[in-house]
Structure 1
Amino acid sequence: MADQRPDRTVRILSTGTALPGPPIDTEALAARFGMDRLWRQWVDTFIGTRTRHLALDLATGAPRESLADLATTAAATALTRARVSAEDIDLVVLGTATPDTLMPATVNVVADRLGIDGIPTFQLQSGCSGAVQTFDVATSLLAAGRSRTALVIGGDVIAKHYDVSADLGALPPEQLVNYVLFGDGAGAAVLTAETPETGEPGHDDAPVVRTVLTRLTGLGREPGQVLRWYGLADRHRAEAPANEDYKAIEELVPELAAEVAEELLDDLGWQRDEVGHLLPPQLSVTMTEKIVKRLDFPLADEISVVGDTGNNGNALLFFQLERLLDVMGPASRAVAVAIESSKWICSGLALEREPLR
């Protein structure tokens, strides 16, 4: 039976990530789609993403890896790094906007592949904030004593929604931008509320999750992004599989990110100059630069990955956390923010690595 003591400390023991295939740079995209030099310059100037990874063969459009494939790899890595077995996990939560199938839930396919059974599993259908939502669900259950050790996973395979034979030169900007912004990937983390033994490798100095915030803020706002899933009855509809209101995102995301950061700091009583690491929202390189400037954490090191991974949705936070765990020293603090533009969800979390004992 799980420990029923309330408000237990939740720590991040480890992370794991997975990317499909080799990195694909803008030159490769331009060559595949017959785009000219001006198009490449537009991508470099207004998007800034250097490479992305796709779970399909760019030449043929044939699928290479599924979300379950990537999530299983990432989760297995996280378990190994945490020195935790599948039998130790008593909760799994997956956040994604692009499950492999509507049924069975991808989270259960991943659990089966890992040898996990007989425990609660949850799949959250969400965009970029889904990764933070997995932490919200898991830390709540861990802190309440309903679970001891949780596996949280986030990932997306977005390329399957795009037509690799499309004439990009004929697409409107709200569809064209998706081909250069996004990539595929998955990430995972092992969380625990177990009291560490002093000196236990990787446990007694694991970062503490101090607070998690998720909140819908879409009342009266048009969606900033739409990703459609067609069934047989509506597969021939004229709507594009994906649309993005980049202008609305460019205007709203920095302001919403600033609101999240302020709320996290207020909740904990932290000052901006006490935060050593900032994990900002990761739409694109150029947008990240604007957001970081707006957030104004004067002493924080920025941890960004989108320039190399592309925007792989719910995987991004885990790639950022993976880098954070490598550089986060004792007695340091970190703030992560994610904004979902589909129907405008604000989210974030704050971490602290305590002083060495």
Structure 2
Amino acid sequence: MTAGPVLLHLAGTGSALPADPVDNAALSGIFGISEDWIDLFVGTRTRHFGWDPATGKETHTLADLCAEAAGRALAAAGLAAADLDFLVLSTATPDALLPTTANQTADRLGLNHLPTYQLQAGCSGAVQALDVARALLAGGHRAGLVVAGDVTARFLQAGRDASALATQELVNYVLFGDAAAAAVVTADPHGEAVAVRGLLHRFAGLGRAPGQIVDWHGAADPDPNRQMLFEDYKTIEEQVPVLAGEIVWELLSTAGWSAQQVGFVLPPQLSGHMTDRIVAGLGLPPGCREVSCVRDTGNTGNALPLLQLDRLLAQLEPGQRALSVVVESSKWIKAGLALERPARPVPAGRGR
């Protein structure tokens, strides 16, 4: 079966996780949440924070993490910052409204005189950024940088006893971690770049209530009755596996592949236990290998799809294919990628 056209190439990836991992015992001691409840409800072992959860002291900004991840992606691609034509960054938690974290990251990388873009997005942001990059490459640019990440410092209260919070807010204290990840994208194959043969990015939330809310106060005095974090976990548990299955079959159709031709799947990374449920319902063949990181990193929002890609590229052999499946639950976006590392050409004169 002939694969679909190449939309763009992933020439190299990189990631950045701040500080040492925080395990469930430490998290329980800091926030007063039962360690057994964390294990049972979430199934995540560790996560990383760019701040000290006991004191609130910041150790890593989002720009710190994005620049670190971007540097590693450039090194993996064998390219220099001067080779880039654009930068696209996605996040739900920028360091400031202005200047943008995209421009702060560009400055740290030594970039200048090139277009930069910042997308305000949730878990699907990395795919949305790749969609923008695809359009820029189609418009004549040759190489660019996609960066995605999130930090939790402004949304989780340091040292707080969170045990009395409503479950819709409490889960945020155990689900999330901080990270950034990046990918160098090119119009033409570079080295053993992975080809993106399908890209799905579609709003699917018409008339549907948000599954997640992350609010902010701005300059106004805080309203003590205003819920800043909300996670409708029951609805997410019901809807994400369904949407993930739809994404798989849409990507297969776009790429012109059968399920049996897919060797790896990168499932939505809401939590450890949710990942198990989602993978079981995708209908992919038993030999399809899962590429996940949420049990070790927590839910890192925008960074997660690229964190998974960073792990995938180390495993994907020539001729192998993978599906990245992403669901944005804040207002329901279906997103994903069909990926293939092209087979190496057979040398002239050598039979199969």
Unaligned runs of 5+ in 2: 346-352
Letter in structure 1 aligned against 2:160: A
1:293 and 2:287 matched: no
Amino acid at match of 1:218: G
2:333 pairs with 1:338: no
Please name the residue that 2:102 is paired with.
107
The CA deviation string for residues 53-96 of structure 1, in whole angstroms up to 9 with x for no partner, is 01111221111111101000000111112111111100111111
Alignment of 1:56-135 (within 5 A): 56-135=51-130
Query: Take 1:87 and 1:114, find their aligned partners in 2: how far apart are those partners?
Result: 10
Residue 15 (structure 1) aligns with: 13
The within-5 A match list for 1:186-225 is 186-194=180-188, 196=189, 203-225=190-212
* Alignment of structure 1 residues 257-336 onto 2, 5 Å: 257-298=244-285, 299-336=287-324
Q: Report how far residue 8 of structure 1 moved.
A: 6.8
- 1:312 corresponds to which letter in structure 2? T
Q: TM-score by structure 1 length?
A: 0.93
CA deviations 1:292-344 (Å, max 9, x no partner) are 01112113100000000000001111111111111101111000011011101
Q: Is the 8 A contact 1:162 1:241 kept in 2?
A: no
2:214 alignment partner, one of 227, 235, 243: 227
- Displaced runs of 4+ in structure 1, greater than 4 A? none
Partner of 1:183: 177
Offset of 1:120 from its aligned partner? 1.3
1:9: how far off? 5.4
Contact kept, 8 Å, 2:168 with 2:231, in 1: the verdict is yes
| Alpha-carbon separation, structure 2, partners of 1:74 and 1:204 | 20
Aligned partners of 1:12, 1:169: CA distance in 2, in Å? Answer: 43
Code of the aligned partner of 1:137: V
Counterpart Cα distance in 1 of 2:159 and 2:226: 17
Q: Is the 8 A contact 2:198 2:251 kept in 1?
A: yes
**Aligned residues of 2:58 and 2:153 also touching (Cα < 8 A):** no
Checking the alignment, whether the CA contact within 8 Å between 1:21 and 1:55 is kept in structure 2 is yes
CA distance in 2 between counterparts of 1:87 and 1:230 reads: 39
1:31 aligns with 2:29: yes
- Aligned-partner SS, 1:327: coil
Q: Which amino acid aligns with 1:153?
A: V
Q: For structure 1, which runs of at least 5 residues remain unmatched after alignment?
A: 1-6, 197-202
Q: TM-score, normalised by structure 2?
A: 0.94
Q: Give per-residue Cα distances to partners, 1:99-137, cap 9 Å, x unaligned.
A: 111111110110011011111111111000001111111
Count of residue pairs the alignment pairs up: 340
CA displacement at 1:145 relative to structure 2: 3.8
The structural deviation recorded for 1:237 is 4.2
